[in-house]
């Protein structure tokens, strides 16, 4: 009899479609899930990737992330950023006391082009932005050839 009811979905029940639409809408507008199943979230930080002749520079937006909670590694030709953000806000006023906590793990994997020197990667953090500099190997950097004037 279940197969005869057109609005009932087999895997998630009657409200599964609605739940998925609400989840998508809240994710798009507020960048947070609507149906929070756990107290931790996994998210991917936004990054800017810039390539110059000598290096690749990656800037990751990680406001409120303590550098001790950040792990940067190179695995299989990809740069991996992972860690955890912990934040607590407390607001005390005359008529109320509010404490909000956010704990979320993040993960971002960025493929690296061949010819990068992964042994000389450096990273720095300031004002909520982590800057990772990956130099290119000298043999793949462009070489300038000077043209001599003829007779």
Query: What residues contact 77, with CB distance under 8 A and at least 6 apart?
Result: 111, 112, 114
Instruction: State the pLDDT at residue 2.
Output: 45
d(CA 124, CA 146): 37
pTM of the predicted model over 0.85: no
For residue range 105-137, list pLDDT tens digits in order: 889 999 998 889 999 999 999 998 999 999 998
- 98 compared with 81, residue with greater pLDDT: 81
Domains of the chain and CATH, by start:
1-37 (no CATH), 42-140 (2.60.40.790)
Q: Exposed, middle or buried by CB within 10 Å (0-12, 13-18, 19+), for 60?
A: buried
For residue range 27-82, list pLDDT tens digits in order: 777 665 544 544 445 678 899 999 998 999 999 999 888 888 899 999 988 999 99
């Amino acid at each position: 009899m279940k197969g005869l009811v057109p609005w009932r979905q087999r895997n998630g029940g009657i409200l599964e479609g609605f739940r998925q639409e609400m989840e998508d809408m809240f994710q798009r507008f507020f960048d947070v899930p609507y149906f929070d199943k756990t107290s931790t979230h996994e998210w991917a930080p936004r990054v800017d990737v810039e390539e110059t002749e000598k290096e690749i520079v990656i800037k990751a937006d990680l406001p409120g992330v303590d550098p001790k909670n950040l792990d940067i590694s190179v695995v299989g030709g990809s740069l991996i950023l992972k860690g955890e953000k912990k934040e607590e806000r407390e607001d005390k006023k005359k008529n109320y006391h509010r404490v909000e906590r956010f704990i979320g793990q993040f993960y971002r994997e960025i493929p690296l082009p061949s010819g990068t020197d992964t042994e000389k990667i450096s990273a720095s953090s300031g004002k909520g932005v982590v800057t990772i500099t990956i130099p290119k190997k000298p043999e793949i950097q462009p070489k300038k050839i000077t043209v001599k004037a003829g007779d």
